[in-house]
Amino acid sequence: MQQSYNFPADTAVLAKIGELVANAGRSAGFDDIEIGDIQLALDEVCTNTIIHGLKSDHSKKFQLVIQWNQGEIEILIHESGEPFDPMDLDDPNLENLLEGPSAGGLGLYFLRELMDEADFRIGRDGVKTWRIVKRKA
């Protein structure tokens, strides 16, 4: 199955996105813990897309595509905002996390840890795409 949605760059849409991915996750056979992991990872990507990529400009939109089969879910997030490659960021130093002034990069760390695949690419047309995949163990 596949579903595609266009959302404004507004964090108010995050709850709806969480619902949509939970429904797809259940249809793919994931349990509540796995769905929570998928929601957390997707929330991180969408929040970064809205705030950093699209600068919370409600007139701008991003596309969410959710594809699933039994035991696997693939999510694509497409946007044309500010140039940025999050894959260039290093994982945060977890030992110094409480001592430092910022926990920046922690969401991307969780994304990499919770999902089986997390890929980022920028197309020739400038469209940035996140592709995240979770498979049943």
pTM of the model: 0.86
pLDDT at 102 over 80: no
Taking the C-alpha atoms of residue 13 and residue 67, their distance in angstroms, rounded to an integer, is 19
CA separation for the pair 40, 4 (Å, rounded): 19
DSSP 119-133: EEEE-TTS-EEEEEE
Structural domain boundaries, residue 71: 2-135
Q: How many domains does the chain have?
A: 1
Q: What is the mean pLDDT of residues 121-129?
A: 93
Q: What is the reported pLDDT for 82? A: 76
pLDDT for 45-83, tens place per residue?
999 999 989 999 999 999 999 999 999 999 999 999 877
CATH number of the domain where residue 52 is located: 3.30.565.10
Indicate the average pLDDT of the chain: 88
pLDDT band at 98 (very low <50, low <70, confident <90, very high): low
